[in-house]
Structure 1
Amino acid sequence: MHNNDTRCAELISVIAAYLQHLALIDMQRCRYLSLMIDGATDQSVAEKETIYIRLLNQGKPKNHMMSIAAVNHGHSDGLLVCLETLFKDFGLPDWKQKVVGFCADGASVNLGQRNGVAAKLRNDIAQLIDVHCMAHRLELLVFQVQKKVVMVDRVSDILHQTWKTYHFSSKSKRELKAICEKLETRLENPAPVKGFRWISHLCQALGPFN
Structure 2
Amino acid sequence: MLDKIIIYNGFLKDGLSQTRFLSILPLPNGKADTITNSFKNYNFHSPRCVPLEVMGASVMVGARNGVAAQLRQLIPHLIIKHCVAHRLTLAAGQASKGLFYLQKDILGDLYRFYAKSAVRTQRLGDIQELMHEPGIKLVEAKDVRWLSHDKATTTLRRCLPSVYTSLEYETEEHNDSRAAGLFRFTQNYQFVVTTHDV
TM-score relative to the length of structure 2:
0.69
Count of residues in correspondence between the two structures: 157
Call closer, same or farther: CA 1:101–1:191 in 2, change over 3 Å. same
Residue pairs, 1:17-96, within 5 angstroms: 40=2, 47-84=3-40, 86-87=41-42, 92=43, 95-96=45-46
* Equivalent residues of 1:96, 1:124 under 8 A apart: no
2:115 counterpart (130, 154, 167): 167
Report the Cα offset of residue 152 of structure 1.
Answer: 0.3
TM-score relative to the length of structure 1:
0.65
Q: Hey, what does 2:129 align to over in structure 1? A: 181
Q: Compare relative contact order (CA 8 Å, sep 6+) and give the higher one, 1 or 2.
A: 1
2:72 counterpart (95, 100, 122): 122
SS in structure 2 opposite 1:61?
strand
Q: Hey, what does 1:158 align to over in structure 2? A: 106
User: Which 5+ residue runs of structure 1 have no aligned equivalent?
Assistant: 1-38, 41-46
Residue identity (%): 30
Structure holding more strand per residue:
1
1:197 counterpart (145, 152, 157): 145
Report the Cα offset of residue 107 of structure 1.
Answer: 0.9
Q: Hey, what does 2:59 align to over in structure 1? A: 109
SS in structure 2 opposite 1:50?
strand
Q: Give the counterpart letter for 2:138 in structure 1.
A: P
Report the Cα offset of residue 62 of structure 1.
Answer: 2.1
* Alpha-carbon displacement from aligned partner over 1:14-48 (angstroms, at most 9, x marks no partner): xxxxxxxxxxxxxxxxxxxxxxxxx84xxxxxx22
Report the Cα offset of residue 196 of structure 1.
Answer: 3.7
- The alignment yields a C-alpha RMSD, in angstroms, of 2.2
Distance in 1 of aligned mates of 2:100 and 2:48: 48
